[in-house]
């Protein structure tokens, strides 16, 4: 069984929502607490955030913010959060999810790590039946240098960098709803 650090990405500014999405109540709990349920089995669970550290820590999360790297602009998007996680995490394997997918399947951790083990893959990404969910991925730290070079080149597209790793697609088409993002109040389930 792989030893994995789980990483919830809450580093964005939540501009479309107008407030920190991870802290918003969803079915009686902060959205981030709902996401954390998909990481059962991880040796460690960390939260990447650039604001509201005290509130997240009060919920029991160990937090870290985006690191500053020479020649990489701050605010470089989720890839900077992923690179920062590769610096912070105690394990060599990192499983990621953004904080705005509160219906993440409870078997997310198990299915992703099983795929990596069976396919002997160092990068896996969720396929929801229609497309890759680039921020739902399992990566080995061996990709840190590749990511650093990608960001140093000035590029920021998560899907483009991830595709360069030839990741194994893990089929979650029967649980597609679990990867629906809530980016604004218009996305909120009725």
Residue spans per domain, the chain: 4-187
Structure tokens at 89: 């995490």
Q: Is the pLDDT of residue 80 over 60?
A: yes
Report the distance separating Cα 48 and Cα 88, nearest Å: 10
DSSP string, the chain: ---EEEEEEE-S--TTTTS-GGGSEETTEEHHHHHHGGGTT-SEEEEEESS-HHHHHHTT-EEE-PPPBTTB-TT--HHHHHHHHHHH-SSSEEEEEETT-TT--TTHHHHHHHHHHHHT-SEEEEE-SSSEEEEEEEEEGGGHHHHHHHHHTT---HHHHHHHT-PEEEE-GGGGGGG----SGGGS--
- Whether the predicted pLDDT of 143 surpasses 80: yes
Contacts (Cβ under 8 Å, ≥6 apart) of 171? 127, 129
β-strands 4-10, 93-98 pairing: parallel
Q: Spell out the residues 6+ positions from residue 45 whose beta carbon is closer than 8 angstroms to its own.
A: 5, 6, 7, 8, 36, 39, 61, 62
Residue 189 token pair? 């389930």
How far from chain centre, in Å, is Cα 112?
13
The fourth-level CATH superfamily of domain 4-187 is Spore Coat Polysaccharide Biosynthesis Protein SpsA; Chain A (3.90.550.10)
d(CA 167, CA 161): 10
The residues with which 69 forms a beta bridge, in sequence order, are 72
158-185 pLDDT, tens digit per residue, is 999 999 999 999 999 999 999 998 865 5
Separation of alpha carbons 14 and 20, rounded Å: 6
What is the rounded distance in angstroms from the CA atom of residue 130 to the CA atom of residue 113? 21
What's the pLDDT at 130? 96
- Enter the pTM of the model: 0.93
What digits encode the pLDDT tens for the residues 32-61? 999 999 999 999 999 999 999 999 999 999
Instruction: Tell which wins on pLDDT, 188 or 99.
Output: 99
């Amino acid at each position: 069984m792989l030893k994995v650090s789980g990483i919830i990405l809450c580093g964005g500014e939540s501009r479309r929502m107008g407030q920190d999405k991870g802290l918003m109540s969803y079915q009686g709990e902060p959205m981030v607490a709902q996401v954390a349920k998909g990481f059962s089995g991880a040796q460690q669970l960390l939260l990447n955030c650039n604001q509201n550290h005290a509130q997240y820590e009060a919920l029991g999360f160990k937090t870290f913010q985006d690191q500053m790297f020479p020649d990489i602009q701050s605010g470089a998007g989720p890839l900077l959060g992923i690179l920062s996680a590769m610096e912070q995490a105690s394990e060599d394997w990192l499983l990621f999810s953004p904080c705005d997918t509160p219906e993440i399947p409870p078997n997310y951790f198990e299915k992703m790590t099983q795929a990596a083990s069976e396919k002997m893959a160092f990068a896996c990404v969720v396929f929801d039946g229609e497309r890759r969910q680039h921020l739902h991925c399992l990566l080995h730290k061996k990709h840190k240098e590749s990511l650093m070079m990608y960001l140093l080149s000035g590029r920021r597209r998560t899907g483009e960098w991830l595709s360069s790793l030839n990741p194994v697609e893990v089929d979650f088409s029967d649980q597609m709803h679990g990867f629906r993002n809530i980016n604004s109040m218009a996305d909120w389930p009725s």
